[in-house]
Amino acid sequence: EADIYQTPRYLVIGTGKKITLECSQTMGHDKMYWYQQDPGMELHLIHYSYGVNSTEKGDLSSESTVSRIRTEHFPLTLESARPSHTSQYLCASREDRFYGYTFGSGTRLTVV
Amino acid sequence: TQLLEQSPQFLSIQEGENLTVYCNSSSVFSSLQWYRQEPGEGPVLLVTVVTGGEVKKLKRLTFQFGDARKDSSLHITAAQPGDTGLYLCAVPAGGTSYGKLTFGQGTILTVHP
C-alpha cells in the first residue's frame, strides 16, 4: 500500500512539450525529493524541499522546476521537453533525517 | 570520483547460492542505508545501520556496518529468484538538516531458478 503516489507511471511526449510530473504523499512529511535515474543506475538528486514554499536544486543540473505550495504535493515541471530528458523520475519523502526514504513508483518519461 | 563504490556492479547466480555485495568509501558516515529496487518500481528501504561494527539480520539478509563506519556489506544466504533487483547503499549527503541522501551506483542481482 503506497503512501506516496506518482502520476503518470509512463509518459511518451514530443519534443518541446510542457509536462508536469505529479507527486503526492499522505504521511505529512516535510522533506520531499526528486531523483533522476537511468535504468539500473544510481539515483541523482535534482530537487528537494524541506517544507512548504521552500525548494532547492540538487546535485544534478536539471532544466526542470518544482513547487511546494502544500505539504502533500511536490510537482516537477519541464517547460520544454527534450530527448535528453528521457529517464525515470522518482519522488521520495522522509519523516526526518533519522528515517529512510519512502519512494513512489516513479514516472518513466520518454521524449521523442 | 564516486563517494560510494558498490561492488560487484553485476551479479548473476543460481537459486540457493550465497552472495555478498559491498559498499565502500574513504569517508566516515553517521549512518548507512540499504535499499532494494525491483524493475519498474521505486527503491524500498531494507535497513539502516548507525553503529560501527553493527550487524543486522532481515530473514536471509545480513547487513554489517564497518568498524570505522566507512563501509558496509550485504550478505544473502540461499538466494531466491525473488531477491532479484538493484541493491543500493545510501549515506547522508553533507551536514545539513535537509535529510538528503547520496546513493551508490548499485549492484544488479539476478537469481536464476
The reply to whether B93 touches chain A by the CB within 8 Å rule is yes
A9 within 8 A of A105, measured Cβ to Cβ: yes
The residue behind cell 503512501 is A3
Cell numbers given for B106: 548499485
For residues B21-33, average pLDDT:
93
How far apart are the C-alpha atoms of A36 and B33, rounded to whole Å?
19
Which of B30, B56, B100, B109 to mutate: most A Cβ within 10 Å? B100
Give A18-77 pLDDT, tens digit per residue: 999 999 999 999 999 999 998 878 899 999 999 999 999 987 777 899 999 999 999 999
SS (H, E, C) B13-52: EECCCCEEEEEECCCCCCCEEEEEECCCCCCEEEEEECCC
Residue B85 C-alpha cell reads as 533487483
Among A29, A38, A13, A53, CA closest to A103: A29
Contacts of A33 in chain B (CB under 8 A): 100
Which residue would you say has higher pLDDT here, B40 or B6?
A: B6
Mean pLDDT to the nearest integer, B3-21 = 96
